[in-house]
Amino acid sequence: MFLGLVIGLTLFGLVMLLSASGPLALSKTGDSWYYFKHQMLNGLIPGIFAFVVLSYFDYRKLKFLALPALILSIGLLLLVYIPGVGTRLGGAGRWVHFGALSFQPSEFVKVTFLIYVAAWLSTQRERRASNLQEGLLPFLSVLGIVILLLILQPNTGSMAVIAGASLIVYFVAGAPLGWFAALVGLGLGLIALLIKITPYRTQRLMTFLHPELDPQGVGYHINQAFLAIGSGGPFGLGYGHSRQKYSYLPEVAGDSIFAVLAEELGFFLSVTFIAALALLVKRCFTIAQSADTEFGRFLAAGIGGWIAIQTVLNVGSMIGLLPITGVTLPLVSYGSSALVATAAGLGIVASISRQARISS
């Protein structure tokens, strides 16, 4: 079932990307297939390679790469600040370029940092998860470095995903419920502080609370998303028949692709798609329960949490339940880095499942 869900959702994502990105690609490049072909070449093919290799690789060996994974996580996030390597787009420094190679480091940190956290907590789990000096403080120190580097980019969406997934691993490892609640509260407090001190985040919050106040300004994005989703009705306008994708809806192939999905396929198929993603997350947690090592249990739970949090943030922002954060919809949105990183994470979960079957 797990493999079937991964393949089915990936193929569905490519089909939706082809429809959503066509008008934008045609207007920007003259080739309506440009984004689809780019996703195939730079996202799907490397993603399949990463999934297959990692699914047959003994995930337990990753535990010995915990420290290098942490160093790699921090190093990747520092790359965006190197002149000539890091690139700023739309006011955010989230991309790295090496010649023809371009990628978003924060996407791969979702994998590497979870490997570190899972490996670290699986060593002397009981003492580390519930001990202040050997558990909570070191955990917060390392996570704080990653969060700070993401705040400076700025990349609030990836920060929320990485922090949330790490907290899930910490909770699964046996952290006291009171500590977990306190950490969640601390995270919400940090987000509130960031909103207060940065004008663009304040604008996003006000748009979320009152999208009707400036429909042609800061509220334009969410209002166009509402129009797309509302136009879909129960059964949709039909595949390829979205109207909002024709230069009305911003980020139509990326953050906003769910709005096009809902417009074309309608309420019932949109809910079916969300249910399929929820089932994939459930399978990750089921595999975590059956893992043959604590490291595997923590890692599978963290990857499942990552996909769940990212899905909630993306879909929630499109339907007005959450502010727009700029995170992609897993396995669907345009973005080669996101697709490869997600495929790599799911490949690790497949390896955990395979090793559990071999051990049983």
Dump the DSSP string for 134-150: IIIHHHHHHHHHHHHHH
Judge whether 320 and 258 are in contact, CB under 8 Å. no
What are residue 101's DSSP bridge partners? 98
* Structural Rg of the chain based on CA atoms: 20
Contacts of 196 (CB under 8 A, 6+ apart): 202
Judge whether 264 and 329 are in contact, CB under 8 Å. no
- pLDDT, residue 308, reads 97
DSSP, res 60: G
Tell me the residue type at 189.
G
- pLDDT, residue 20, reads 94
- pLDDT, residue 127, reads 59
What are residue 87's DSSP bridge partners? 95
Give the separation between CA 360 and CA 351, rounded to whole angstroms.
Answer: 14
- pLDDT, residue 207, reads 59
What's the burial of 62, exposed, middle or buried (CB within 10 Å: 0-12/13-18/19+)? Answer: buried
| pTM given for the model | 0.91
Strand 92-98 relative to strand 86-89, pairing? antiparallel
Q: How many CB atoms lie within 10 A of CB 11?
A: 12
Contacts of 140 (CB under 8 A, 6+ apart): 183
Closest CA to 324 of 239, 211, 241, 234: 211
DSSP, res 3: H
Give the orientation angle of helix 45-56 with respect to helix 336-359, to 10 degrees: 20
pLDDT tens for the chain, residues 1 to 360: 899 999 999 999 999 999 999 999 999 999 999 999 999 999 999 999 999 999 999 999 999 888 888 888 888 888 888 877 766 655 555 677 766 677 788 899 999 999 999 998 888 655 566 666 666 788 888 888 888 888 887 788 888 899 999 999 988 888 777 777 877 787 777 777 766 666 656 666 555 555 655 555 557 888 889 899 999 999 999 999 999 999 788 889 988 999 999 999 999 999 999 999 999 999 999 999 999 999 999 999 999 999 999 999 999 989 988 888 778 999 999 999 999 999 999 999 999 999 988 876
Q: Helix, strand, or coil here: 91? A: coil
Give the separation between CA 261 and CA 239, rounded to whole angstroms.
Answer: 8
Find the DSSP H helices in the chain: 2-29, 34-39, 45-56, 66-79, 105-122, 125-130, 137-152, 156-172, 177-197, 199-209, 220-232, 257-290, 294-318, 336-359
Q: Dihedral angle at the C-alpha atoms of 183, 188, 193, 198, nearest 10 degrees?
A: 130
Q: Which residue has the tokens 């880095």?
A: 337
Tell me the residue type at 13.
G
Q: Rounded to an integer, what is the distance from CA 71 to the centroid of its chain?
A: 21
